Structure 1
Amino acid sequence: MFQNSQAISGEDTSNILAGDMCALPSFEDLAMSWRIGQSMYSDHQHEAPPSYSPPAPYMPQLVNTQDGQVPPSDDVLQDLVIRGIPPHQPVPGMRMPPPDYLPPYLMDTLTQLQTFPMPEYMPPAPLSPATMQSVSSQNYNLHAPLSIPPLPAQPHNTPAQRTGPQNDRRLTKEAMRQYLRDRPDTTVVIMTAKVAQKSYGNEKRFFCPPPLLYLMGDGWKHRLQPVVMAGEAENEAQPYAFIGIGSAEQEMQQMNLEGKNWAVAKTLFISDTDKRKAFELKVKLFYGTGDDVGMFCSKKIKVISKPSKKKQSLKNAELCIPSGSRVALFNRLRSQTVSTRYLHVESGNFHASSQEWGAFTIHLLEEPQSESEHFKVRDGYIHYGSCVKLVCCVTGMALPRLVIRKVDKQMSQLTADDPVSQLHKCCFHLKDSDRMYLCVSQERIIQFQATECPKDSTKEILNDGAAWTIISTDQAEYSFYEGMGPVKGPVTPVPIVDSLQLNGGGDVAMLELNGENFTYNLKVWFGDVEAETMFRCAESMLCVVPDISAFRGGWRWFRQPTQVPLTLVRHDGVIFATGLTFTYTPELGPHPPTMEEAIMSNPIRPIPEDTPTTFPTNHYPDLEQL
């Protein structure tokens, strides 16, 4: 059965079965053969495996055990007669090579036999000579497949068992209500410029302004409380961050978060060997305990060669700056990198920071209008000579009305009217002032009075502090909360909902969510009510709008507008805030029933014969007694 086992391949299996085997071994044969071989092989398992030769015809005497053969017992001989195997053929199970030399097509079967307990081999009962003759004359199919009984079911690890029992806890209504009441979100904010200048050769043009990381919300403090209460070091709950450009050419750089909730990456750049036209920054977060928070991506950053010095046009609108978009402003004295200052708001004041930079919404103003807290804006792209308003995206503080002007050779160009482009140098003239410009003086923001150019009246001479570089910025924000306690494994990808689309109405209203990073294990919640959710793809999900009675007990029709927050919840209790709400609007209730509907709903019953047919006159004074 096992001869020439070292040379057996899948292609020769059928030939071996037909030529060298007289009968296919049964389940009991394999079990017995394996046990015989294991007991024999364990005595000299440290010896080199001998070379095997075809067995000699069977003879009932003790053979050489070093050759892997053992004398058959009477039970085995009787089994041979039952199976119809001639005595001069090799006996199945009498030759057992070491496991390493078994044929490939038997390795899996024998491994299973060794792994799981086999039933004890029961020798057959003695048979009469007539029965033996009848059995030995039966025909056997040599090519029949091995009949192996089903193996016992093995316990397998479910995803919840692999990640811990706490990851299998679904969010409860009580936990959602507490979240909606306290809003202890854990928020990651990545602020970047929309464009990055490519570096050539050995130069390194670091991204300016540098990427900023903010960790905001009370969720970070909630993660710290159990560690402090357990008496462990606070650094075990301290988050650590690494940032990179998503390329194998550069290693990720650690960001310094010690003692503060923000960090800056000042030494990132993209070389000319990187052929990408756009890229995303990757931020890796984890706790001091080693628990993985996840990988967070920035918004897309477009790669440019260098800022264009030619007069811009709206044909290249991708590099122009539209009204209502976010920009950053920085000043660099004598073109020195170490002297870079960024416009920023801190403690209610505008100042020039060397570390943090602020994002400001730039608005085109309607003309004419005076200085006021409330102002009218208009759409379009920012052009030189336009009156604009800069509003801090975080605090809402605004600078006075400004006229943006082009800077060339340290002079303000009063007649320039082309579109403002990325990384252009510009200056800001305070509207209705006598040549006063927004200026940097060390860390302060001051007003600087320019002087008229003696050679050209359309130009005004500035100092270094009044020349600003403008660039569009973007922000990626991710919010989550571990509603059922800390989870094992990352919380990413964080789903982002961009828009909602309501389909149908009444009892068949469906809400479509469009965004990114959707997964099949997400559910949509309306307030503290879980909705039936259908996953379509990573950019789209559908859900059934719950009935108003789920929020207002006893209501069958909308009596007043009801607004509920929309959230996404993962199967392990992680809550993702969408920042969106759903409003139930009032609609007409059921119409009054018609006479026919009233009669059908309250059929007339027959009056018993003994019922009096008179009515009290005091109830109907205008009627006489019948």
Structure 2
Amino acid sequence: MAPDVTGSWLTWPPSKRLTREAMRNYLKERGDQTVLILHAEVAQKSYGNEKRFFCLLLMCILWAVDGRKKKKEQMERDGCSEQESQPCAFTGIGNSDQEMQQLNLEGKNYCTAKTLYISDSDKRKHFMLSVNMFHGNSDDFGVFLSKRIKVISKPSKKKQSLKMLTYTLPQEQSTRYLHVEGGNFHAGSQQWGAFYIHLLDDDESEGEEFTDREGYICYGQTVKLVCSVTGMALPRLIIRKVDKQTALLDADDPVSQLHKCAFYLKDTERMYLCLSQERIIQFQATPCPKEPNKEMINDGASWTIISTNKAEYTFYEAMGPVLAPVIPVPVVDSLQVNGGGDVAMLELTGQNFTPNLRVWFGDVEAETMYRCGESMLCAVPDISPVQVPVTLVRNDEIIYSTNTPEPGPYTPELAPRPHCSAAGAILRASSSQVPPNESNTNSEGNYTNVSTNSTNVTSSTATVVS
């Protein structure tokens, strides 16, 4: 059922509106379902008949465990079989020349794609991975897009912007990825982890707490690797350049992605971070007899830095399964409170906003005005002076979490206040300046905020994967 539109304000039929009790249950239990697409920021182009598979496999975490379990139980209560309630997914690079590849869950909540590549006949400089997801009973959740990926011809000689860090080891049999699992560091072929890389002072002592240095990371400097999810850290390391299975002790040029490097455990007798099968161990290097500025290491101590990115989509069917796809999933980048008192308004900036969304503060619905695909405005309702979560609710009662608490600076009144007609007038005046054609969003352009500027690796540019 379509909403009634009065000016800029959206009103919904009472029978379709989300109840405050249902919202309170959602805020208490948080049974969200999440699609998380993790991928490399760059992809090497393949030439001729070769297939250069992406240096970092696509990893798609399809569901939050609790949310997925509840969804499966609900579908089985509605008469679906075990097979019909299982999620299915296909992925591709958005090119009709390549068939979509099926992602195999195998009873897990994540899956990987190892054989994606982009050929030289594809002239795109950037592209986005697409993940088409549905259930065995053909219920379609829609197509989810990754962040934008830059196409390169070969590993760049220039300095690269590094956002999320994953460390891989090319081997004859398979590539191994550093990650944390079960409270330990592992090297596996099916999962990879993202790490902060912190630049430290050379005289920084070993400890759980440390101080970051500002600046670019260069070979020969002291660094700290911290898992972005668990917070587990490796001991202090000195990052060294690798050339033909030797670690260069005197290299001091900037660190760049897709180049081989080694991690020397500081204050040890030539011990390097190394892998053996799926275990992380220490390997003792051998001095080069004729070249004192080099130490010989094995394949397991040679690593490659790859910058990565993620696209995350979170949703919850508050009033039961819906027929329409959950996409486009709105993404809130920032919240800004303007004004105060009776004219306090919240401005939401982000992506994939549509006219059929409304804003909730905790379990209180706010009067909402859609401006364009990147901006929404709402009047701040009467709520107690505490931080509350802000969510977006679609007209078929799908809840989209913003993962952001209600921002300051303002303190709502303790006593009730009358309906804010002044805020409505301001919003209506603002919306009258929005061109009509801005109400239709182009989903293809909503995921292009990945920086590709050339720069050095710095600790400040690392971001976290959840």
TM-score, length-normalised on structure 2? Answer: 0.83
1:212 equivalent in alignment to 2:59: yes
In the alignment, the residues of structure 2 paired with residue 394 and residue 284 of structure 1 have an alpha-carbon distance, to the nearest angstrom, of 26
Kindly report which structure 2 residues correspond to 1:176-325, keeping only aligned pairs within 5 A, or say none: 176-214=23-61, 215-229=63-77, 232-308=80-156, 310=157, 312=158, 316=159, 319-321=160-162, 325=163
- Give the aligned partner of residue 349 of structure 1: 184
Alpha-carbon offset, residue 366 of structure 1 = 3.4
1:403 equivalent in alignment to 2:238: yes
Deviations 1:458-494 (A, max 9, x none): 1111111110111111111110000111000100010
Kindly report which structure 2 residues correspond to 1:1-12, keeping only aligned pairs within 5 A, or say none: none
The correspondence for 2:354, drawn from 519, 522, 527, is 519
211-220 vs 403-412, which moves further: 211-220
AA paired with 1:446? I
Alpha-carbon offset, residue 374 of structure 1 = 1.4
228-237 vs 285-294, which moves further: 228-237
Instruction: Give the RMSD, CA atoms, in angstroms.
Output: 2.2
Alpha-carbon offset, residue 192 of structure 1 = 0.3
1:424 equivalent in alignment to 2:259: yes
- Give the aligned partner of residue 399 of structure 2: 575
Deviations 1:521-566 (A, max 9, x none): 111111011111111111111111112xxx34xxxxxxxx511101
- Give the aligned partner of residue 445 of structure 2: none
In the alignment, the residues of structure 2 paired with residue 390 and residue 534 of structure 1 have an alpha-carbon distance, to the nearest angstrom, of 44
Deviations 1:205-235 (A, max 9, x none): 0012100011224221111113334564211
The correspondence for 1:174, drawn from 8, 21, 32, is 21
Distance 1:178 1:304, change over 3 A: same
Kindly report which structure 2 residues correspond to 1:59-70, keeping only aligned pairs within 5 A, or say none: none
Q: Which has the larger radius of gyration?
A: 1
Deviations 1:414-450 (A, max 9, x none): 1111111121100000111111100111111110011
1:461 equivalent in alignment to 2:330: no
Aligned residues: 405
Aligned-pair identity (%): 63
Q: Is the 8 A contact 2:326 2:398 kept in 1?
A: yes
- Give the aligned partner of residue 327 of structure 1: 165
Distance 1:446 1:589, change over 3 A: closer
Alpha-carbon offset, residue 252 of structure 1 = 0.9
Q: Is the 8 A contact 1:167 1:487 kept in 2?
A: no
In the alignment, the residues of structure 1 paired with residue 244 and residue 15 of structure 2 have an alpha-carbon distance, to the nearest angstrom, of 65
In the alignment, the residues of structure 2 paired with residue 588 and residue 288 of structure 1 have an alpha-carbon distance, to the nearest angstrom, of 47
Distance 1:588 1:523, change over 3 A: closer
Q: Which runs of 5+ in 1 are unaligned?
A: 1-157, 161-165, 553-560, 591-626
Distance 1:307 1:235, change over 3 A: same
Determine helix, strand or coil for the equivalent of 2:71.
helix
Alpha-carbon offset, residue 349 of structure 1 = 1.1
Deviations 1:126-145 (A, max 9, x none): xxxxxxxxxxxxxxxxxxxx
Determine helix, strand or coil for the equivalent of 1:368.
coil
Q: Is the 8 A contact 2:166 2:305 kept in 1?
A: yes
Determine helix, strand or coil for the equivalent of 1:373.
coil
AA paired with 2:83? N
Q: Is the 8 A contact 1:429 1:438 kept in 2?
A: yes
Higher relative contact order (CA 8 A, sep 6+): 2
Distance 1:361 1:168, change over 3 A: farther
In the alignment, the residues of structure 2 paired with residue 170 and residue 576 of structure 1 have an alpha-carbon distance, to the nearest angstrom, of 15
The correspondence for 1:438, drawn from 268, 273, 282, is 273
AA paired with 1:332? P
Determine helix, strand or coil for the equivalent of 2:22.
helix
TM-score, length-normalised on structure 1? Answer: 0.62
The correspondence for 2:327, drawn from 476, 480, 492, is 492
More strand, by proportion: 2
Alpha-carbon offset, residue 167 of structure 1 = 12
Determine helix, strand or coil for the equivalent of 1:423.
coil
In the alignment, the residues of structure 1 paired with residue 79 and residue 368 of structure 2 have an alpha-carbon distance, to the nearest angstrom, of 42
AA paired with 2:164? R
- Give the aligned partner of residue 360 of structure 1: 195
Q: Which runs of 5+ in 2 are unaligned?
A: 4-12, 415-466
- Give the aligned partner of residue 412 of structure 1: 247
In the alignment, the residues of structure 2 paired with residue 426 and residue 362 of structure 1 have an alpha-carbon distance, to the nearest angstrom, of 14
Kindly report which structure 2 residues correspond to 1:549-568, keeping only aligned pairs within 5 A, or say none: 551-552=383-384, 561-568=385-392
Q: Is the 8 A contact 2:340 2:410 kept in 1?
A: no
Determine helix, strand or coil for the equivalent of 1:377.
coil
Determine helix, strand or coil for the equivalent of 1:218.
helix
